[in-house]
Chain A
Amino acid sequence: MTDAVMMSRPSLINRLYHGKTIPLLTVLLSLLVIWYGGAVYLNYDVLTSNYERNEVSWDAEKLVADAWSMERPILPAPHQIATEINKTVFQKKITSKRSLVYHAWITTSATLLGFGFGTLLGILLAVGIVHVQTLDRSLMPWVIASQTIPILAIAPMIIVVLGNVGLTGLIPKSIISMYLCFFPITIGMVKGLRSPDVLQMDLMQTYSATTSQIFWKLRVPASVPFLFASLKVAVAISLVGAIVGELPTGAVAGIGARLLSGSYYGQTIQIWSALIVASVLGMVLVYLVSMIEKFVMGRMGYRS
């Protein structure tokens, strides 16, 4: 991918040796070895009892081959998942209901909308908390309390309540996503808006700057590094929120729907491939936020 392009600059071997590629591949390889072993171990009982029932003679070689090619394994082998992903991501038209790209897009749109709402809410709360002393004391405990409620418990309530006022589909999911992701943004922004040191604040005093001048010329720029740190956490959480939001609705589309239907029918391969796609999606989203961060921070003269 893009790694290969970037590597061509210094010597390839040098880059490989000092870069992250080798360590990452090593971890991946060890994971695969453990995974293949685990697939044999976990599927052993089901397979052997099958063999006994059908009086099939078997040896270790047959056991391993079968363990890695079951239709509904306890733990599918990596290549089975890879095949499924290939089938559902690349072989299907992306508009098809059986395409994982289609489902991923449904979830992504809820994620992005929820992320947008959450960022807005998070920043507004932080601005209020920093500037209004009453809000600092009254709001912060509620913000923290809101995160102690298990999202799985409150998600169905939100869906039901919003469904009653006529909101269905994308909006309820993104509201659940927002509910999860505003928190790190509020915390990060409160810290960021309060990050200017005494001298930087005193300086504004000597210019007799107004509160809004202090806000726009000092607090906001000082909070940008904190905001991006929060946004990276928040975008990953809002994806979780969107998936969780799809579970109690009996949604027919989205990563959450794939997880749910997979578990109804014991389609472990389908579940695992949905999980992998979800985590790749999460990585892509965090990477995109990192890219924006790099650009903005570079423009603001921060050393990277």
Chain B
Amino acid sequence: MHLPRGSEGGTNSMTDHSKPVIEIEKLNLIFETPDAPVHALSDVDLTINSGDFVSFIGPSGCGKTTLMRTIADLETPTNGRISVNGMSPAEARKKRAYGYVFQAPALYPWRTVEKNIILPLEIMGLSKAEQKARALKNLALVNLEGFEKKFPWQLSGGMQQRVSIARALSVEPDLLLMDEPFGALDEITRDHLNEQLLRLWDQTKKTVVFVTHSIPESVFLSSKIVVMSPRPGKIIDIIDCNLPRDRTLSIRETPEFLEIAHRVREGLRAGHSYDD
């Protein structure tokens, strides 16, 4: 995937010649539990285009993580159609079409930073030289040069999460799935990583799907915001967020930013049931 770069500061130009990466139609997922079946996803329709940065936002239990896990073939839908790169999610997973970043870093404590990053590459059976090269390249991308030989416990939470992002990138997927990757971090670290992530997205032209429950984070990062509501988990609004790609944190004071944030908040409020 090497799309021509969207015009500098352009708004819609990149979506014009994009092809769909993820297509979801009438997707339902029902968990059978001992009490009663839980309708985790209800009639979800969604298309994510190549080069998009799509955020799923919603309160706890709205199915945003479940939807992402379904895309990653970590959950199996009850019915409906879903395709990733034109394949079923299972085929896409077998072809290692995506990199997945979890809520927690999930680093293996017995592996050094470098060894953690090359874990997927070992599994893919790449040559030692290639493994090493990719590890160093991706460590540099997340600004962690010089930390190769450290063990995870020697790193702060933010640095650990950056290692896990580097690990996901080392597979060199066109699609990056990120499940509240910065949820456990303090706000200053989170702002900093948001900026880094945005720059990474701009440089690598990857498609990113991002789960969050922070409104400013979703508006700051996304080109498209998917607002979800719980019981049953469904999409209630899809908001285009056409701020320039090379945004900085100061954009959060601008009227355009606040207007989109307002729309997201209205959507969340409309979808939220206050009976509990």
Question: Which residues of A pack against B, CB within 8 Å?
Answer: 197, 199-200, 202-209, 213, 217-218, 221-222, 224, 300-303
Contacts and interface: CB of A to CB of B under 8 A. Distances in A.
A301 B112 contact: yes
Given A205-B93, A208-B94, A301 B151 contact: yes
B109 A302 contact: yes
B93 A206 contact: yes
Contact of B108 (A206, A208, A218, A303): A218
Contacts of B74: 202, 205-206
Interface string B62-78: 00000000001110000
B53 interface: no
Contacts of A213: 123
21 contacts: A197-B106, A199-B102, A199-B103, A199-B104, A200-B106, A202-B74, A202-B102, A203-B106, A205-B73, A206-B72, A207-B96, A207-B120, A207-B124, A207-B171, A209-B123, A217-B122, A217-B123, A222-B110, A301-B110, A301-B153, A302-B110
Contact of A207 (B111, B112, B123, B153): B123
Which 9 pairs across A and B sit closest by C-beta, in order of nearness?
A301-B151, A199-B106, A300-B110, A206-B100, A221-B110, A207-B120, A207-B123, A208-B94, A209-B123
A196 B102 CA distance: 15
Nearest to A220: B110
Contacts of A221: 108, 110-111
Contact of B110 (A203, A209, A224): A224
Interface string B81-114: 0000000000001101011101110101111100
Nearest to B152: A301
B119 interface: yes
B223 to A, nearest CB: 24
Contacts of B108: 200, 217-218, 221-222
B119 A217 contact: yes
Contacts of B94: 208
A213 B119 CA distance: 10
Chief secondary structure at chain B's binding surface: loop
A207 B123 CA distance: 7
B113 to A, nearest CB: 10
Contacts of B112: 301
Contacts of B106: 197, 199-200, 202-203
Given A204-B123, A301-B151, 19 more contacts: A199-B106, A202-B74, A202-B100, A202-B106, A203-B100, A205-B74, A205-B93, A206-B99, A206-B100, A207-B123, A208-B94, A208-B96, A217-B108, A217-B123, A218-B108, A221-B110, A221-B111, A222-B110, A302-B110
B111 A301 contact: yes
Contacts of B96: 207-208
A78 to B, nearest CB: 46
Nearest to B72: A206
A301 B153 CA distance: 9
Contacts of B98: 206
A5 B79 CA distance: 71
Contacts of B109: 301-302
A197 B103 CA distance: 13
A213 B94 CA distance: 14
Contacts of B122: 217
A227 to B, nearest CB: 13
Nearest to A206: B100
Interface in B122-142: 122-124
**A197, A217, A300, A301, most chain B CB atoms within 10 A:** A301
Contacts of A208: 93-94, 96
B191 to A, nearest CB: 25
A204 B93 CA distance: 11
A203 B153 CA distance: 19
A203 B104 CA distance: 11
A208 B93 CA distance: 6
A205 B94 CA distance: 9
A298 to B, nearest CB: 11
Contacts of A205: 73-74, 93
B222 to A, nearest CB: 22
B240 to A, nearest CB: 29
A202 B74 CA distance: 7
Interface string B203-214: 000000000000
Nearest to A214: B123
Contacts of A303: 153
Contacts of A302: 109-110
Nearest to B90: A208
A293 B173 CA distance: 39
A221 B119 CA distance: 13
B77 to A, nearest CB: 16
A302 B153 CA distance: 9
Nearest to B92: A208
B157 to A, nearest CB: 15
Contacts of A301: 109-112, 151, 153
A301 B112 CA distance: 8
A221 B151 CA distance: 14
Contacts of B120: 207
Contacts of B72: 206
B31 to A, nearest CB: 15
Contacts of B124: 207
